[in-house]
Structures are given as C-alpha cells and as structure tokens.
Structure 1
Amino acid sequence: MASNHCLILLNLMDFKPINRKVLRFEEVWTTIPASIVVVKNSWEKKVSGDPSQAINQKLKRILRNLYYWSKAKFKSLNLSKVEPKSEVLRLQELETADGLILDQLQWELKIKLEELNSVMTRLDTWWKQRSKVKWIVEGDSNSKFFQAYASGRRNGNFIHKIRERVPFA
C-alpha cells in the first residue's frame, strides 16, 4: 500500500520466436573472384531513403546476396576436393610406374596440385572461421578432431529451450 512501485505482468506463453537466420560474412568469399561481381551488382541497385539508410540497405542486400550465392557455390565444398585429389593420385601413379613423366603430364600434375591446394585452403579457412580456434597449426588443420571441435562448439552454443523456473514454496 505504501510502495510507489507498480507490478508488471509478463506473459511468455503466447511468445512466438522469430526464426531469423543470422547472416555472417564468410572469409572464404574473399578467395573467389566471382564474389566481387556479386558485390558490384548488389551495390549498383538503387535504394531510396536518406544516405545512412541507403548504405545500410545496400550492405544488407550485399550480405544476403553473397549468402545465397555461396549457398549455391559451396553446396558441395567438401566434394570439390574429390576430383582433383583422384586426378593427382592418377598422375602420380603414372609417374611412379614409368619412372619418368612427360612434360605435358608434369604440367597437368602441377595444375591439379594447385587446384587441390586451393580447395583445401578454402576448406581450412571455412572450418577455422566456424571454430574460432586460434591454436591451429599447419599440421593440425582440417582434421576430424578439428571438425568435431567446431561442430561441438556450434551445438554447445545452441539454445534448445528455455526452462521455466519454479518459485520456492
């Protein structure tokens, strides 16, 4: 009766969470020249409003377009290493069987090795960003342990549900 405080009634039972996916910049995008075209096309589209809102809308559009572009591009990121890897192995087997390798096959082997290294570097960057682990060394990158650590960290940060706290009697 003598308090100047008002009670607040908060009902969370009808709360429907908004399923908004958080879009984050992927460092892997910078390694692919086609991403520059996506950024340029997104930036050049007209936006209405004051300059600060226009920049904000353009940046949101760029991030969204990069996200959907990369979703299509990197759908099979893990699978993209299979073909160059098998081709490198085939060329190396030819070299060991004959003892010599033709100049043309040697150039082909170098190209396939560069392609494989490029894909592996992208995969490594992709996993590093997901794990936020700073202690990776060259020999430890992209191992099953590291991928399990990154996945475990993501699963550990996930909120499954909010538990109702029961007051003491």
Structure 2
Amino acid sequence: MDCAFASISWIHLFLRAKVHNLEASCSDHLSIFLKPAPLVFHSWIMRFQFENAWLCEPDCMEVVKDSWLSSVEISIQSKIAKCGSDLFQWGDNLSREFRNRIMECKRRMSLLRGKRDDGSMTQFTEARSMYNELLHSHEVYWKQKSKLLWLKEGDMNSKYFHVISSTRKRVNTIGKLRNGQGQ
C-alpha cells in the first residue's frame, strides 16, 4: 500500500494527469484509469513596464539618451521599443545590485560612525545620503507595485476599499487655485 501511494504522489508531482472511473459490469469495484498528460512549459514574454524608482537613479537619463541617439534611422515605434528594451535590461541589472548597494552603504556608515575627522565625517554624510536615497527609491518601487497589484487583483467591494478610494479622490481634488497676485 505504501509503495503504490508513493508512486502515485510521485506522478502527481511531476505529471499532470486525468483520472477516469471505468465502468464495471459484474463487480462492485470500479477500476480507475490514469491518463498522464505531458507538461507543457510556456515561455513567458516579459512586458516592458517603466519603474518610477528608475527616475531616482542618475544613470536613467543617460540610458534613454544613448538608446535614442544610437538608433537614428529607424521608425519612432522601433526607437521606443529599443529604448524600452535598453531600460528593461539596465533596470534588471540595477534591481539585482540594489541589495548590494544598500549593504555597502550600511557597511561604510558603520566603519565611519565613530570617527571625528573632517574627511570621515564627509564620507559618512555621503554614505548616509546615498542610503536615504536608496531607501526612498525602494519605497517608490513598492508604492508603484502595490498600486499595480491593487489594479490587477481588483477590490472586494469592501468598506476598506471605499475608504481608500474616497481618500485618494479627496487628495487628488483641487479645491482652489491661486493666481500670481495671490487671488
């Protein structure tokens, strides 16, 4: 019994299968027919999506300029596609290095924390400002992701959803405008 159970669970883990009960004419036991189906792996096409956190990076504008200027004689759609591809590749490398950059800032700050000379204090201030910029960039990234998840998953028509929507509507409303003379 244990051996049969183990083989069925092994099949369940690695194969997709359909199970059918077969008709029996003279017995009260029904046979089952296990029809394995091969797993089909789909290659996913990554859709380009601009990350707002990239705007916090000084290299972002350079990537766009280089991409745009390198493709002079092609159509505007092709330029946009090439720019998106270059940004996607650059952003992918950037996100892989993000954790390392934060750890490096923390390491530099801990090494410089007790030192009081001018050079060390300047380096500490630079490391701290870089660390704060990275944290801000991380916050911008997750803020965009949370809105996308919200849009993708939808709402459950709950009281929480209506409060959040009403608050966002209130924040996005312009109540008054003032001209240059203060009126």
Which category of TM-score, normalised to the shorter sequence, fits these structures?
Answer: 0.5 to 0.7
**1:128 is matched with which residue: 137, 140, 143?**
143
Paired residue type of 2:51:
E
Count of equivalent residues:
112
Q: RMSD in angstroms over aligned alpha carbons?
A: 2.7
Partner in structure 2 of residue 91 of structure 1:
112
TM-score by length of 1: 0.56
Q: Select which of 65, 69, 88 maps to 1:67.
A: 88
Structure with the bigger percentage of strand: 2
Cα offset for 1:35?
Answer: 1.7
Change (3 A) 1:59 1:102: same
- 1:108 matches 2:123: yes
**What amino acid is the match of 1:123?**
H
- 1:25 aligns to what SS in structure 2? coil
Look up the match of 1:39.
Answer: 64
- 1:18, distance to aligned residue in structure 2 (A): 6.7
Judge conservation of contact 1:91–1:109 (CA < 8 Å) in 2. Answer: yes
Gaps of 5+ in 2: 1-40, 154-183
Higher relative contact order (CA 8 A, sep 6+): 1
Unaligned 5+ segments in structure 1 are 1-15, 49-53, 96-100, 134-152, 158-169
Structure ID, larger Rg? 2
State the partner residue of 1:76. Answer: 97
* TM-score, reference length from structure 2: 0.52
Counterparts of 2:67 and 2:81 in 1: how far apart (Å)? 10
Q: Distance in 2 between matches of 1:37 and 1:131?
A: 28
Aligned match of 1:148: none
Once the 2 structures are TM-superposed, how far is the Cα of residue 47 of structure 1 from its aligned partner? Answer: 4.2
1:78 Cα deviation (Å)? 2.0
Show the counterpart of 1:19: 44
What is the Cα deviation at residue 25 of structure 1? 0.6
1:60 CA displacement: 1.6
Per-residue deviation, residues 23-80 of structure 1 (Å, max 9, x unmatched): 10111221222222221122121344xxxxx222211211111001111222121231
Aligned-pair CA distance for 1:19: 2.8
Query: Which whole-Å deviations, capped at 9, do the CAs of 1:85-109 have from their partners, x for residues lacking one?
Result: 12213322x25xxxxx222222121
Q: In structure 1, what is the Cα distance between the partners aligned to 2:42 and 2:57?
A: 36
